[in-house]
Amino acid sequence: MAAGDSRYSAKIRAKRIALEYFKQPHPFRRWRFILSVAVPAVAALWLLVYAVRGDQRIYNGGRVSTAHTMFEKDCVVCHGPGPAPAATMPTAAAPATMLAAGVGGAAPRGYWARVTDNACQACHAGPRHHVNETFQPRCASCHREHGGRALLVQIADQHCAQCHRDLKTKDGAPPAYHASITALRQHPEFAVSLHEGDKVRRVRLDQKAELRDTAQINLNHAKHLKVNLKGIEDVEAQLGSAHLAKAKGGRQLACTFCHRPDGRGEYMEPVAYEKNCAVCHPLDFDGRFVDSAAPDRPAVVPHTRPGVVHAYLRGTIADAFDQCQSIPAGEAGKTLRQRCVDLELVKAPAEPAGDQPRGLRRGGGEEAPAPAPAPDTPRGLRRRSSLEPEIVLAQDDSPRRLRRGSDEPSGDAATGSASGGGAAGSGSAGGGGGAAWVATQLSTIEPGLFKQRCEYCHTLTKSGGAVPQVVPTAIPARWLPHARFDHAPHRPLACVECHKATTSTETKDVLMPAIGTCRDCHKPTGGARSGCVECHRYHDKTQERDPDGPFKVHQLLTGAGR
């Protein structure tokens, strides 16, 4: 185009453009208008639907934790007044400063309102960590919400290290715990609590010279874990193969035969004699004193206080004496009669001679008259015929018996009459002769029972009485009281990997694992979690409030009425 050509001037170009082009229909302009109207309308409708449903999740900064999903639709439950556990609802006379601070139940409301400690403590009675801590952090400074479906107790080590990096106390006294711990690799060796009388002393596991289990019990772990231990066949026959382990050359008791997890799988139930020991270590005594009505019942005493054992033995022996005073005739009394003969309470009937007349055999004819008692024979011990069982009683205190059909005692107190081979004795357990016999038997059986059965595991002491006392075992329920442990995640490991029971031959051995065993798996990188909260808790759970909570269901779910 030549310069200065008037055909292409600005005026000419402007005349070629339609000035009302924007008024003409166009797809782009049409959809722009539709979207400009529809999007705000849909957004308004969306807000309206959530408002009608009472669902406030659209305002959340993120999903709440698993424990708080029930409150996810109602922000005001946490971002609201939140009364403290001991506070009452605010009244009209409540000072404005108290309401503004959240004391008495009120707190600032709004989408950007900070969650106060009162709101948290309305449900969670989280007590302080320690009375001597220098400051108490806010709940939300450690437990950060809206981070997804996470556990709020899984907090970072930095929250613990802000104090335990250089531990101080409020009163300036030296701390009772290690002063500088920031991670598991800097954690000192574990310390266990040893009970020495009324005192409790903390000893670390690497202090071998001072480390000693003070429990008053005799136990050899290595012996119980031997292969083909004596009596293991009886255990399998009575209890089955549960809690028995296969080993090279036979079978052995598994650790879980005695140490069984509790209902939650965290800790082990206390070892109980009836469940864990009785099958191998019965507290048996002379079986001749067992009730003839139940011949298969084992002659064992209960595993309880020595005074109760003493009373049980005395009662069992006295019952045996009383039963021998009246023996049923014939086959019905055969077992009892033999037991009474074994106890030397009844003499065995003499067998008739081969040439004895048939009329004098047992059950036929008349008995030969009993010879007259010697002049020095005490009353109650009149000699009987050779076919009549005799009751063995003390000679100096046999009770006098009334003559049948007479109210006066006889000159020679009868010892009883034979009835089909039975005998009625001249005394009972409550009488002089019975009491003497019971006392004699008790003094023979009881010392051996305490010595051979009770003292096999327990420490006994004499306290002035005839019956010894058992020293309390004082077996620790928890070796690490300042930490918590959960056996359930550790089930894939063999027990002896952490507890060296196969080499322990004395009770004094402490079988707790050292911290090095834990560090093998719990590593900051490439291992199990190693955070402080894996073993420790911040709040002192012993100071929690009563479990009878303050809210009803609708108050808990909606915050109404708080």
pLDDT attached to residue 261: 93
- Alpha carbons 480 and 107: distance in angstroms, whole number: 41
Cα gap 163→177, rounded to integer Å: 12
Q: How many domains are contained in the chain?
A: 2
Q: What is the pLDDT of residue 299?
A: 82
Q: Does residue 174 lie within any of the structural domains?
A: no
The secondary structure of 77-136 as a DSSP string is: GTSS----TTPPPP-TTS-HHHHHHTGGG----STTPPPPHHHHHTT-----S-TT-S--
Is residue 443 a part of any domain in this protein? yes
Cα gap 204→202, rounded to integer Å = 7
Strand partners, 196: 199
Kind of pairing between the strands at 191-196 and 244-247: unpaired
Q: Report DSSP state, residue 179.
A: S
CA 288, 294, 300, 304 torsion-angle sign: negative
* Long-range contact pairs involving 114-117 (C-beta distance under 8 Å, separation at least 24): 114/79, 114/140, 115/78, 115/79, 115/82, 115/139, 115/140, 115/145, 116/82, 117/84
Q: How many CA atoms lie within 13 A of 531 on its CB side?
A: 13
**Pairwise CA distance, residues 520 & 523, whole Å:** 7
Residue type, 236: E
Instruction: Give buried/exposed letters for 282-304 (b at 16+ CB in 10 A, else e).
Output: ebebbebbbebeeeeeeeebebe
Packing angle of the helix pair 432-452, 306-323 (nearest 10 deg): 140
CA distances from 419 to 292, 325, 379, 388, 424 (A): 19, 12, 21, 9, 9
222 exposure class (CB count in 10 Å sphere: 0-12, 13-18, 19+):
middle
* Residue 347 pLDDT: 84
CA 307 to CA 278: how far, in whole Å?
A: 20
CA distance 38 to 32: 10
d(CA 108, CA 75): 13
Residue 440: which domain range?
Answer: 299-350+379-399+413-456
Q: What angle do CA 529, 533, 535 make, to 5 degrees?
A: 85
pLDDT tens, per residue, the chain with 562 residues = 555 666 778 877 777 777 777 778 888 888 999 999 999 999 999 989 988 887 877 877 788 898 898 888 888 888 875 554 444 433 333 333 333 334 344 445 555 678 888 888 888 888 888 888 998 898 988 998 888 888 888 899 999 999 999 999 999 999 988 999 999 999 999 999 888 878 888 999 999 999 999 999 999 999 999 999 988 988 888 888 888 999 888 999 999 999 999 999 999 999 999 999 998 899 988 888 876 555 556 688 999 999 999 999 999 999 999 988 888 888 888 888 888 888 888 888 776 665 555 544 444 444 444 444 444 433 333 333 333 333 333 333 333 333 333 333 333 333 333 333 444 343 344 445 789 999 999 999 999 999 999 999 999 998 777 799 999 998 988 899 889 999 999 999 999 999 999 999 999 999 999 999 999 999 988 889 999 999 998 898 888 888 888 888 888 877 776 6
Task: Tell me the C-alpha distance between 355 and 319, whole Å.
Answer: 40
Q: What pLDDT does residue 269 have?
A: 93
- 116: CB partners within 8 A, 6+ apart: 82, 102, 107
What is the pLDDT, as a whole number, of residue 410? 34
Tokens of 178: 């290690």
Give pLDDT, residue 407.
37
For residue 141, give the amino acid letter: S
Among candidate residues 485, 473, 500, the one with its CA nearest the CA of residue 534: 485
pTM of the predicted model over 0.75: no
Tell me, yes or no, whether 199 lies in a domain.
no
| Domain annotation covers residue 461 | no
Position 166, amino acid: D
In a domain? residue 384: yes
Question: Residue 169 has which token pair?
Answer: 């106390």
- Burial class of residue 547 in the structure, from the number of CB atoms within 10 Å of its CB (0-12 exposed, 13-18 middle, 19+ buried): exposed
Apex 468 CA angle, 462 and 469, nearest 5: 95
Q: Which residues pair with 470 in a beta bridge?
A: 460
In a domain, 546, yes or no: no
Whether 283 is in a domain gets the answer no
Residue 340 resides in a domain: yes
Q: What DSSP string runs through 422-453?
A: B---S--TTSHHHHHHHHHHHHHHHHHHHHHT
Distances (CA, A) of 58 to 61, 66, 74, 127: 8, 18, 11, 33
Please give the Cα distance from 393 to 346 (Å, whole number): 10
